Amino acid sequence: DAGVIQSPRHEVTEMGQEVTLRCKPISGHNSLFWYRQTMMRGLELLIYFNNNVPIDDSGMPEDRFSAKMPNASFSTLKIQPSEPRDSAVYFCASSLRSSTDTQYFGPGTRLTVL
Amino acid sequence: SQKIEQNSEALNIQEGKTATLTCNYTNYSPAYLQWYRQDPGRGPVFLLLIRENEKEKRKERLKVTFDTTLKQSLFHITASQPADSATYLCALDNGSGNTGKLIFGQGTTLQVKP
């Protein structure tokens, strides 16, 4: 298996633009997680899905952020409009079930908002 | 408030020595705790999971302890090697019943010198 796949790996955009990050979880995994990592705040959970259904989005910073999982093999995280404070590395992770299973992280998308 | 604390300062040790990293938490009652390794520019990689009813767990040169009274986990790497240099993150479930929602510490950077 190729592991969790994220695209793009790097994104540079201007303030106010829409940004869409993409994730393909490991085949057969039922849970998907979106995280954001910054030096100041560390690794923070934004939202997670179980069987394509959003379970907890309490970590989503504000209404500018939205996430979807239309099927078991694809998820998106959208920021509209983007702001410089959104600059961070965004990770997607998947696990077999939502319980105590290991989470497998993707390589991340480094987002820079100018 | 809930808090997870790891040594913020980098840990520098000599090759062959044992590295000990600390994870302390407050106002949590986690059912389990996980340790991850993160290399620069990459996503975290799972190392070990220890449950609340386990005192100690080992995997090759790695050992983790979990003291729910002290609210502390210790992560040991014996016979350390320069290849062990990385940032190590501890993560707790948030205590609300095996939801898979992990809360991560800020991480401790380990540097093993040859």
Q: What is the pLDDT of residues A43-67, one digit of tens each?
A: 999 999 999 999 889 899 889 999 9
Beta bridge partners of A66: A78
Quick check: A81 and A98 in contact, CB under 8 A? no
Which of B34, B43, B98 is facing A91, going by the closest CB pair?
A: B43
> pLDDT of chain B along its 114 residues, tens only?
678 999 878 999 999 999 999 999 988 888 889 999 999 999 999 999 998 889 899 999 999 999 989 999 999 999 999 999 999 999 988 756 556 678 899 999 999 999
Report the b/e string of B1-17 with b at 16+ CB within 10 A: eeebebbeeebebeeee
B43 touches chain A (CB under 8 A): yes
Q: What is the pLDDT of residues A66-83, one digit of tens each?
A: 999 999 999 999 999 999
Confidence of residue A97 (pLDDT cuts 50, 70, 90): confident
Which of B100, B104, B105 is facing A99, going by the closest CB pair?
A: B100
Cα distance between residue A9 and residue A2, in whole Å: 15
Cα distance between residue B32 and residue B30, in whole Å: 5
pLDDT at B7: 84
Residues of A in contact with B35 (CB under 8 A): none
The pLDDT of A4-15, averaged and rounded, is: 97
pLDDT at B101: 78
- Among B48, B98, B36, B32, residue whose Cα is nearest residue A91: B36
Which of A43, A98, A102 is facing B99, going by the closest CB pair?
A: A98
Q: Counting one residue from A and one from B, how many pairs have CB atoms under 8 Å apart?
A: 59
